[in-house]
Each structure stands twice: as structure tokens, then as C-alpha cells.
Amino acid sequence: MSEQQKNETTYLFATIGSLTGRCGRISQVTTKAEYDGKALARVGDTVTYDDGSKATILDGAGSAAMWEDKPLALVGSRLSNGDTITATLRDGWGITVRDGEPIPGLFDANWTPPPAGAMGEGDTHA
């Protein structure tokens, strides 16, 4: 493992069907973005549990990966019921965070993206 790899963490994107710590599954997504045939989840999307209860994804990739002004969800994203996304069905794509290089909004439920164009990027990027 290179020195650079030792100083970075990769967070995988959550997709439809991704699992939570309390056995929920991401059941409804609002993007058309896909990775390997699975739709990507984002902040505001829905997790459903076996008992029929639901929770909402609260945080995600921040400014590192957004779709239509909402961060994409990651393994590690928190839910409205205190649960967390713990596993994804696709393990090849996510964001890499290097030590000492913070990402605005990463896992921050209170973060609001700057107005469109303020980050120098389009409205739909992943």
C-alpha cells in the first residue's frame, strides 16, 4: 500500500437496495444517475424497513458528488431515525478523502450547497 493510500479514505456511493445497520434498504431514489445498473441514492431519498417504517437519508458526499443540488448518499450516511447506511450493492465507485483535505458538507446534514455555478460545476455531476 502506498503512503498516499494510507492517508486517504474511500466512501462508496449508496445505491437502490443498499443496506442499513438496522436491516433497512434504500427503496426509493430520485436520481436517474446509475452505476453498473443500480440507481444512485442522494440526500432526501427513502429507506424502508421490514416492519413498513421509513426513514430519510440526511447527509452524504457534500460538495464532492451531487445530483441536482443534493449530495449523493454514501456508505456512512445517516438517516432520520438514527440509523446509518452500512453496505452498498456496488463496490467500485465513491469518493476519496485525503487526510487534511476537508470536503465541504461531507456527512453534514446541515450543509447547504452554494448557488448553482458558484462551485464552478454544473447542476448534475457525480
Q: Is the pLDDT of residue 112 over 60?
A: yes
What pLDDT, in 10s, does the model give residues 46-56? Answer: 999 999 999 99
CA 117 to CA 115: how far, in whole Å? Answer: 6
pTM of the full structure: 0.86
- What's the confidence (pLDDT) of residue 122? 47
For the chain, the farthest-separated pair of C-alpha atoms sits apart, in whole angstroms, at: 46
Q: Is the pLDDT of residue 4 over 70?
A: no
What pLDDT, in 10s, does the model give residues 79-98? Answer: 999 999 999 998 888 999 99
**Domain 8-98, CATH class in plain words:** mainly beta
Q: Is the pLDDT of residue 32 over 80?
A: yes
Question: Which amino acid is located at 103 in the chain?
Answer: I
Domain ranges of the chain: 8-98
The DSSP annotation for 15-66 comes to: BTT-EETTS-EEEE-----EETTEEBPBTT-EEE-TTS-EEEB--B-GGGSE
